[in-house]
Amino acid sequence: MSGSIFGRLQQQLDIQNRAEGISALDLAQLPSGLRKIMRLMLREIEMSHAAILEAMSDQPEPDRMKPGDLENALSTLSQQGWLICRGEGDRRNYTVNLRRKQGSSLAGSIFNSLEERIRDQKGSG
């Protein structure tokens, strides 16, 4: 039993540490049901499972997802790294896994080049 708990914990840590997340282009390519959930989640950033169920049940009838479809969608979004799920059962909370922006290395390389040129000029002069 303890191995499965540690396995789940490691899986959650792996998901949290991944640099992958979402971008606007990725969001546009999602199927409509998944996209609706993600739009809701992007407004709130973090929601309990119960709050998601309530918000989705407030949707107009044609847009409303069946409970089983909603569970499958939440599971899919979590497995694909769009959402981070913490907890189990009715105590689950979901958080959006926002894509981390990578810092530009351009500024660093410019300053390194300038420093090298200054050293070269001082050394030759």
- Residue in this structure with the two tokens 């998944």, named with its chain if needed: 34
pTM over 0.75: no
CA distance 108 to 11: 34
Tens of pLDDT along 46-98?
999 999 999 999 988 888 899 899 999 999 999 888 899 999 988 999 999 87
Average pLDDT over every residue of 5-34 = 69
Q: Any idea where the domains of the chain sit in the sequence?
A: 2-124
With cut-offs at 50, 70 and 90, classify the pLDDT of residue 116. confident
Name the E strands within 13-72.
46-48
Q: How many residues does the chain have?
A: 125
Greatest Cα pair distance, the chain, in angstroms, is 79
CATH class of the domain at 2-124: mainly alpha
With cut-offs at 50, 70 and 90, classify the pLDDT of residue 16. low
